[in-house]
Amino acid sequence: MTIRALHVASELYPLLKTGGLADVAGALPPALIERGADVRALLPGFPAVLAGLTDLHPVAQLGRRFDTPGVTVERGTLPSNGLVVYVIRAESLYNRPGNPYLNDEHVPYGDNAQRFALLGWVAAQLAQQLDPAWSAQIVHAHDWHAGLAPAYLKAAERQHGRPVARSVFTVHNLAYQGVFPAHQFGQLGLPDDFFNISGIEFYGQLSFLKAGLFYSDRITTVSPTYAREIQTLSQGGGLDGLLRHRSHDLSGILNGVDYAVWNPTDDALLDTHYSATRLAGKSACKEALQKRFGLAQKSDALLFGVVSRLTEQKGLDLLLGGVPEIIRHGGQLVVFGTGDPALENGLKRVAQSHPESVAVELGFDETLAHTIVAGSDVIAVPSRFEPCGLTQLYALAYGSLPLVHCVGGLADTVADASLENLADDLATGFVFERFEPKGLAAAIRRAFALYDRRTEWKATQRRAMRQDFGWGASAERYLALYRELI
């Protein structure tokens, strides 16, 4: 039997992306389809989403919903792979260019509760014949933006007296909880008793993330280690109790890499290509990167790269403290990202003090991200916490050894270049245990020490590049979960 699953998310690569969620929403549906499932996606009709789809045509006119007139649901196609995508057209809620969550002042939009409640509500309707031609058996909701979908499904189940569709809720980041004032509950159209500690209520407010965790039939998160971490008091963001209570329904399924997009042998965004057996092209990528960022053109300077959202999570404040260690050993650092203005300014200041060896650029650009991942010797991901992390997986594929904090998905995917791991042919990068300057500095020194032994460095690069983090195994696990549910 073919399983019909609807993936509900707020971003999807290549239509719209602010982080790894888009990469997953873009790559997992095709991986499931390849394995025989009938998968479609639902997105809010942000300008970039509507512009990127072809064959858009109306499926349902919903009229006034969540205080918004003229809401329609349309169905279109993603040209790159033919994925069928439903979009919600609601001019006053979604027709805003730029960041889908924040205004120009980096403040969440005041009407985010309505904007994302509508997303969850339409998802539940797509399991109830909203499109007469297709109806979801599984609604797979991603992060708080889609967190109300399982709640609306449970409400419909109560109304009809039978299950409507089964739901899976995937936590990509427990730190974003979609919390809104309690008085907004009335606008959601959910049964009154859903505003409850056993429900959507969260310390006197309401949380879309908690709704997803509470009302979904299964919960997944994006790495096995993060699945354990979020059940602890220190890393559970106030939801550890609920997560422990539901631990039998909770599993960690590692994200994958879309090697059609991230592959140094034929990366469409690179001028020079290379592979594990022909590494020469990587030197050309490094040279190009040093040139692009105005760094000294030294082929043997160990080059550290960072491509990241600039938020507290990513631990770049710790990395800044490690800059003297990098410079002392003759290394270089390139940072590219966007986010928190205070972090942006701090990074800029460090670059100004070391123009030959540190370069910082602010912005979001897919080509530059690939340029840095390919041209760096080391990709640093010193995150305080990291649900999965994709950057270190891309770094492995490009032979750019990841330097990571031992948390979440970083702990599950990178093996430290310790003597014993090197001896056993296991090392793929540099891992520090404690989020402290000393641990980071030691990992940086390990990177320089290995770089001094060029043969071992190359062997480690090749091993990193041979790791298989393709979507296959993870897609199989999601499918197994769907099968269990229906």
Which residues are at the interface with ligand ADP (CB under 6 A)? 19-21, 23, 307-309, 336-338, 364-366, 369, 388-391
Q: Select the binding partner of residue 338 from ligand GLC, ligand ADP, none (C-beta < 5 to 8 A, by kind).
A: ligand ADP
- Least gap, CB of 237 to ligand GLC (angstroms): 13
The 10 Å Cβ neighbour count of residue 462 is 14
Nearer to ligand ADP, 23 or 131 (CB): 23
Segment interacting with ligand GLC (CB under 6 A) among 31-39, 77-85, 236-244, 384-392: 384-392
Helix (H/G/I), strand (E/B), else coil: 329? coil
- Pick the binder of ligand GLC from 3, 12, 21, 28 (CB under 6 A): 21
- Least gap, CB of 316 to ligand GLC (angstroms): 14
Q: Which H, E and C letters describe 253-309, residue by residue?
A: CCCCECCCCCCCCCCCCCCCCCCCCCCHHHHHHHHHHHHHCCCCCCCCCCEEEEEEE
Annotated binding site: 17
Nearer to ligand GLC, 333 or 381 (CB): 381
Contact 428, 310 (CB under 8 A): no
The 10 Å Cβ neighbour count of residue 480 is 12
- Pick the binder of ligand GLC from 378, 390, 397, 447 (CB under 6 A): 390
- How far is 469 from 257, CA to CA, in rounded Å? 6
| Residue 310 bridge partners (DSSP) | 339
- Pick the binder of ligand GLC from 255, 400, 413, 474 (CB under 6 A): 255
- For residue 350, the number of C-alpha atoms closer than 13 Å in the C-beta half-sphere is 25
Nearer to ligand GLC, 385 or 451 (CB): 385
Binders of ligand GLC: how many residues, by CB under 6 A?
14
Assigned token pair, 11: 């971003």
Contact 290, 373 (CB under 8 A): no
Annotated binding site for ADP-alpha-D-glucose: 17
Decide: is 178 part of the binding site for ligand GLC (CB under 6 A). Answer: no
Nearer to ligand GLC, 199 or 387 (CB): 387
Decide: is 100 part of the binding site for ligand GLC (CB under 6 A). Answer: no
The 10 Å Cβ neighbour count of residue 14 is 16
Decide: is 387 part of the binding site for ligand GLC (CB under 6 A). Answer: yes
- Going 369 to 342 to 386 to 210, the CA torsion angle's sign is negative
Assigned token pair, 412: 């599950």
What are the residues binding ligand GLC (CB under 6 A)?
19-21, 24, 172-173, 222, 255, 386-390, 409
